[in-house]
Amino acid sequence: MAALVHRRGLRRVPPFGARGILAVAVLGLVRMARADGEETQIEASEKPEDEWLTPELLAAVDKLRGYDQFAQPVHGGCLACEWVAKSFRTTVWPAIKGKKKPDDKRAAFLETADSVCEKERFPKDLAIVRKGKRLFLTNWEEEKQKPSKKERMAIIKSGKTVQEGTRDICLSTVAVKRERVGDVVAKQKNFRDVDWREVLCQRLTKLCGAPEGADDMGLDGEL
């Protein structure tokens, strides 16, 4: 299969201004912010049908932009994709467990793909939170009940916007691109040994930036 996204390379740039995340396709390039405020430049495929960075995905990312208490830009799209990867792992594994043949794995995934993005998997109190040095997406009500070392927590963004934006990222990747994702699932010998955050958020969508190191899953140059 043709390459979906070709990394042209990462470059460090100063945090962008108040307009937040730039998601503008110019000369085939899409610029997006990473969770740490850096900007990542990636090149979209020349074929529209092969492009993961769809208008729907970019709109979802835009919903999740924000700034922390230090006025630094936060890329909620990456954090949301990480949430989706967790849902993907816990939802798909029971469906393909015991399947040995690639075709059987693929069929089982396709049957359960919609379940990954069910609304109930995206709580209404989802929030982008900074706790100490950590920045993450969490169920805010559950997070407040956890024991802590009195680390200060700051809510960067919460509510319906975060809930919908995170689910939209799931729908734009797992549901809409189920055929492509199914191909990836089918070729994995051990589903639980795969870092699905890396697959979904770095090698396929690049929402969390390009991955470090060589591709050991046969994805680069094929999807």
Average pLDDT over residues 73-99: 94
Residue with tokens 């200060």: 152
Instruction: Give the pLDDT confidence score for residue 217 in this predicted structure.
Output: 54
Instruction: Give the pLDDT confidence score for residue 214 in this predicted structure.
Output: 53
Phi/psi zone of residue 82: left (φ > 0), alpha (ψ -120 to 50 degrees), beta?
alpha
List, for residues 29-49, the tens digit of each pLDDT value: 333 444 444 444 333 334 333
pLDDT band at 117 (very low <50, low <70, confident <90, very high): very high
Instruction: Give the pLDDT confidence score for residue 88 in this predicted structure.
Output: 97
The mean pLDDT value of the chain amounts to 76
**Inter-CA distances, 195 with 85, 185, 208, Å:** 9, 12, 13
Angle between helices 76-96 and 55-63 (to 10 degrees): 120
Q: Which residue has the higher pLDDT, 23 or 222?
A: 222
List, for residues 212-222, the tens digit of each pLDDT value: 765 555 554 44
Q: Which residue has the higher pLDDT, 74 or 195?
A: 195
Average pLDDT over residues 188-194: 93
Average pLDDT over residues 67-90: 89
Instruction: Give the pLDDT confidence score for residue 73 in this predicted structure.
Output: 80
Q: Which of 100, 73, 115, 103 is nearest to 182 (CA)?
A: 103
Q: Determine the Cα–Cα distance for residues 76 and 127; give it in Å rounded to an integer.
A: 10
pLDDT over threshold 90, residue 84: yes
Average pLDDT over residues 148-165: 84
pLDDT over threshold 70, residue 149: no
Three-state DSSP at 152 gives coil
Burial of 89 (0-12, 13-18, 19+ CB in 10 A): middle
Q: Which residue has the higher pLDDT, 141 or 97?
A: 97
